[in-house]
Amino acid sequence: MTVADPVLSLRGATRRFGGLVAVRDFDFDVGEHEVLGLIGPNGSGKSTTLNLISGALKPTSGSIMLRGRTISGLPAQEIARRGIARTFQLVRLLPSLNVLQNVMAGAVFGHRRRWGHEAEAQAMRMLEKVGLARRAHAPVGELTYIDTKRVELARTLAGEPKVLLLDEWLAGLNPTELEEGISLIRALRDEGRTIILVEHVMDAIRSLCDRCVVMSSGAKIAEGSTDEVLSDREVIRAYLGDDDA
């Protein structure tokens, strides 16, 4: 499915690890202010795709473009500078820094870079956005699990990215935390942010995503509106297997 004037485009993106093809000839576009769900069973290549987009991995072949300019193969720090930011399945905070200092790192090294008092002010604004301003000076080791996720999200937002990659950000949350997390991502969507959401929580996918792309064994098997994709028999088969499907 082609998007007019896409913010981000993948064309033929492929990543091989020796004889294993983790992502195969993958195409998709993300439009301005769109929330795109990237879904599929475990091991389907979703996180590898985010690693290709963010520069943690280089594609074996194919191209990735941000606003029409090729970014595939650039170092991760250069891709971040151009406007791609992400969270990780396992939260990666800087344990020697407090909450505010962790978020300031995003303001210093992100797309729009700030220093000193300006970086601190930006970090505080992002902590307010995720509901953690009151814990700004707390050691990160004292935080609950969902609050560590909030800090990572605030740090990602502090650099004002053009495209936000959320890699199973809702994973591991209890039902109350999950509701809070979905509300927080919905608020970001309502601000008009461009988001690629890798997620297994189907309630979140249904309520947050404009479109979905579905992967299985490294390849795209479906793309379209969220309701269409989640009712596609091939998608159901990929998740549940032939017998249950």
Strand partners, 17: 20
- Please state, in angstroms and as integers, the Cα–Cα distance from residue 51 to each residue in 39, 76, 159, 196, following that order: 15, 9, 19, 12
Supply the range of the domain harboring residue 224.
1-78+200-245
30, 33, 194, 224 from 210: Cα distances, Å: 10, 10, 11, 9
For residue 32, being part of any structural domain is answered with yes
Please state, in angstroms and rounded to a whole number, the distance separating the CA atoms of residues 227 and 237: 16
Alpha-helical (H) ranges within the chain are 46-54, 76-82, 99-109, 116-129, 145-158, 175-190, 202-208, 226-230, 233-240
The answer to the question of residue 99 being in a domain is: no
The domain total for the chain is: 1
**Whole-number Å distance between alpha carbons of 220 and 55:** 21
Residue 157 lies in a domain: no
* pLDDT score of 245: 45
How far apart (Å, rounded) are the C-alpha atoms in residues 71 and 162? Answer: 13
Q: The domain that contains 48 carries what CATH number?
A: 3.40.50.300
**If DSSP codes are grouped into helix, strand and coil, which group holds residue 125?**
helix
Angle 223-219-14 from CA coordinates, rounded to 5°: 120
Place of tokens 């909030």: 150
Q: Identify the pLDDT of residue 244.
A: 46
Q: What is the pTM (predicted TM-score) of this model? A: 0.91
In a domain, 230, yes or no: yes
What was the pLDDT predicted at 2? 63
Domain annotation covers residue 207: yes
10-residue mean pLDDT series, the chain (245 residues): 83 95 96 95 94 96 96 93 92 93 90 86 96 95 93 94 94 91 93 94 92 95 93 86 53
Domain presence at residue 108: no
- For residue 176, being part of any structural domain is answered with no
- Answer whether residue 45 is part of any domain: yes
pLDDT, residue 3, reads 73
User: pLDDT at position 114, please?
Assistant: 82
